């Protein structure tokens, strides 16, 4: 008895091949979708980090000058990429003095040139003498300030907006404290 193989084939190989092709296509589409999403996430993270760096740069500029005598708001643009583009727009609100604490004479170092102007007070038995034995308040106060910077993308390419708070401590003359 001779079997006819052509009559026993019903196209099962073709159906299984099509199912495998569809599954491979779905895996490829899923991989493309995941890589696109990851690329968007990393782009957003980069824009956020650049905005934070821009805000930090302007806060450093503000805190490096004597802002305690005239605490005003500052606006600046920062080119984070260094390519001459507009970069990020940073607005620093007027610095707020949080508190002011007089520095005791015992906390000062007479050999430190930064401490010498602070020596002396009315409560000291040797006012104005760096080697004095007084234990009262010096002529300086330690002040703590809050600097609040908001960095935004002015071109709105990324829609990035970051607010950064930075605490700054400054030593100022006791009578000059706005706190």
pLDDT tens digits, 133-153: 556 788 888 889 999 999 998
CA atoms of 58 and 115, how far apart (whole Å): 28
Q: Give the CA radius of gyration of the chain.
A: 34
Of 127, 124, 118, the closest CA to residue 176 belongs to 118
Cα 119 to Cα 110: distance, rounded to the nearest angstrom: 8
pLDDT digit string (tens) for 96-117?
989 988 888 888 888 887 777 7
Residue 174: CB atoms within 10 A of its CB come to 17
> What is the value of pTM for the model shown?
0.69
Determine the distance from the C-alpha atom of residue 45 to the mean position of all C-alpha atoms in its chain, rounded to a whole number.
13
What does pLDDT average to over the chain?
Answer: 82
Strand partners, 74: 92
pLDDT reported for residue 171: 85
């Amino acid at each position: 008895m001779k079997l006819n193989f052509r009559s026993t084939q019903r196209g099962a190989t073709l159906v299984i091949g099509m199912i495998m092709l569809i599954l491979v296509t779905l895996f490829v589409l899923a991989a493309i979708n995941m890589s696109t999403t990851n690329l968007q996430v990393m782009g957003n993270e980069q824009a956020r980090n650049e905005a934070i760096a821009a805000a930090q740069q302007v806060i450093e500029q503000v805190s490096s000058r004597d802002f305690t005598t005239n605490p005003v708001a500052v606006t600046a643009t920062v080119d984070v990429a260094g390519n001459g583009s507009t970069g990020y727009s940073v607005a620093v609100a007027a610095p707020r003095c949080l508190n002011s604490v007089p520095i005791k004479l015992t906390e000062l170092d007479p050999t430190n040139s930064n401490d010498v102007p602070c020596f002396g007070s009315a409560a000291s038995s040797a006012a104005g003498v760096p080697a004095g034995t007084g234990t009262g308040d010096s002529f300086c106060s330690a002040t703590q300030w809050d600097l609040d910077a908001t960095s935004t993308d002015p071109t709105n390419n990324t829609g990035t907006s970051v607010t950064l708070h930075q605490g700054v401590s400054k030593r100022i003359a006791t009578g000059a404290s706005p706190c």
